Amino acid sequence: MAVNVIIDKCKGCSICIKHCPFDAITMENRIAVIGSACTGCGACVDKCPFDAIETIEIKKEAVDLEAYRGVWVFAEQRDNKLMPVVIELLGEGKRLANEIGTELCAIVCGEKLEAITEELFAYGADKVYVADDSELKSYRTDSYTKVIFDAITKYKPEIVLLGATHIGRDLGPCLAVKANTGLTADCTSFDIDPGDKKLLQTRPAFGGNLMATIICPDHRPQMSTVRSGVMDKAAYESGRKGEVITLDVVFKDDEIRTKILDVVKTVGERVSLTDAEIIVSGGLGLGSSEGFELLKRLADKLGGTVASSRAAVDAGWMDHAYQVGQTGTTVKPKIYFACGISGAIQHIAGMQSSDYIIAINKNESAPIFEVADFGIVGDVYQVIPAIIEALN
């Protein structure tokens, strides 16, 4: 889709300029001109009071879309354990597969994968494509890209979903270029177009200020990455069976161009913010790293975990693993305490789906209060001890 200005109708009112999220429109001789920053998002089309902006379809060389069937989930494993996002993708993948009327498949690479394969069936996969080889034990871009691209070429899935982990975000782009298709990053919801069954992929754009629904109309597979904690987990059905398809794994010399020399763990245990039901999160308003010890006391009391805004990570008070927000983790706990967090949109983007948000901030005009269910204007160092006391 692209947008076009109908010159005869444009009155030069500049309303479109204000509404363009990408700053792509300029006025030349009182006529709107669409510049190269235009993404064809269409935000200006509805806003034009004179109907002077239209969308135009671009015809493209068609791929045989009918040849592609099935929803695939990349079953990312580390140390032979499935990443939590895989179970969420299987849950969402099942829903999409049912809506399209096709099957849910998982593709897994690694070594000694029998137990994981059983687990994937139990979580709803109808078929599991298994690439079992010592070269695939740990993720490497070249080895995983080759094996999965070969499988995509041979078995032609219509949808491929990957977790937006450090691995999924490395693998996805490489696969998309090889398969000559699109990839939509960090999707937060999916729908199936009731007419032509194409995948509607919705994601935040522009730091969460704008939501965009992306389609991949003429290329297959339709590929997306999804952050963990965004979709609902698949149900576990013990003993459920499915079909195993074994993939051939053959590498030529020098085909895998990177070598892992060492793996170093820096965080004691993987911080599982996405699974936490209660999160007590702190920001710059805490003033120092000691504030997090106070938050930890409340978190421990409630059986929750502590987290942090980006500002507190940048200040060196918390490790990046605890960061909630656009460039950190997306969370949706039952209760999210935002303590001394002003509420930058990047932060809000990562926690706004929490069931209940409680904001504690000295500044009553802090944007965090706009999204909070309950707000307390006050000093964190007084309010938190009072809550702990009230809990006692």
| Per-residue contact flags (x/-) with another protein for residues 101 to 130, judged by CB under 8 A | ------------------------------
> With 0-12 CB in 10 A as exposed, 13-18 as middle and 19+ as buried, what is 153?
exposed
Residue 72's SS3 state is strand
| Per-residue contact flags (x/-) with another protein for residues 283 to 302, judged by CB under 8 A | -------------------x
* Beta carbon of residue 71, minimum distance to another protein (angstroms, whole number): 18
Residue 221: asked if its preceding bond is cis (omega within 30°), the reply is yes
Nearer to another protein, 180 or 238 (CB): 180
In the list 32, 41, 87, 120, the residue contacting another protein (rule: CB under 8 A) is: 41
Return the residues of window 225-264 that contact another protein according to CB under 8 A.
Answer: 257-264
What is the C-alpha separation between 142 and 56, in angstroms, rounded?
38
In the list 31, 213, 251, 297, the residue contacting another protein (rule: CB under 8 A) is: 213
Return the residues of window 333-372 that contact another protein according to CB under 8 A.
Answer: 334-335, 344-346, 352, 355-358, 364, 369-372
The phi and psi torsions of 271 (rounded to 5 degrees) equal: -75, 120
Number of amino acids touching another protein (CB under 8 A)? 103
In the list 102, 117, 165, 309, the residue contacting another protein (rule: CB under 8 A) is: 165
- Within 13 Å and on the Cβ side, how many CA atoms surround 292? 20
Element (H, E) at 108: strand 104-110
Kindly list the distances between the CA atom of residue 122 and the CA atoms of 83, 197, 382, in Å, as whole numbers in the listed order: 15, 27, 49
Q: Which stretch binds another protein (CB under 8 A): 120-128, 166-174, 230-238, 282-290?
A: 166-174
Nearer to another protein, 59 or 239 (CB): 59
In the list 266, 291, 312, 318, the residue contacting another protein (rule: CB under 8 A) is: 266
In the list 35, 115, 250, 362, the residue contacting another protein (rule: CB under 8 A) is: 35
**Tokens representing 12?**
């030069």
Nearer to another protein, 124 or 217 (CB): 217
**Tokens representing 7?**
């010159």
Residue 173: asked if its preceding bond is cis (omega within 30°), the reply is no
In the list 212, 244, 249, 315, the residue contacting another protein (rule: CB under 8 A) is: 212
- Within 13 Å and on the Cβ side, how many CA atoms surround 305? 18
If we measure between CA atoms, which residue out of 228, 229, 210, 214 comes closest to residue 181? 214
Task: Please check whether residue 211 is in contact with residue 202, taking contact to mean a CB–CB distance below 8 angstroms.
Answer: yes
Residue 62's SS3 state is coil
Residue 38 in the binding site for another protein (CB under 8 A)? yes
Rg (CA), the chain: 24
Amino acid symbol at 259: K
CB atoms within 10 A of CB 314: 13
Nearer to another protein, 18 or 241 (CB): 18
Task: Please check whether residue 147 is in contact with residue 174, taking contact to mean a CB–CB distance below 8 angstroms.
Answer: no
In the list 29, 36, 238, 365, the residue contacting another protein (rule: CB under 8 A) is: 36
In the list 156, 169, 197, 240, the residue contacting another protein (rule: CB under 8 A) is: 169
In the list 14, 80, 98, 209, the residue contacting another protein (rule: CB under 8 A) is: 209
Return the residues of window 187-206 that contact another protein according to CB under 8 A.
Answer: 200, 204-206
Q: Which stretch binds another protein (CB under 8 A): 34-42, 95-103, 232-240, 287-295?
A: 34-42
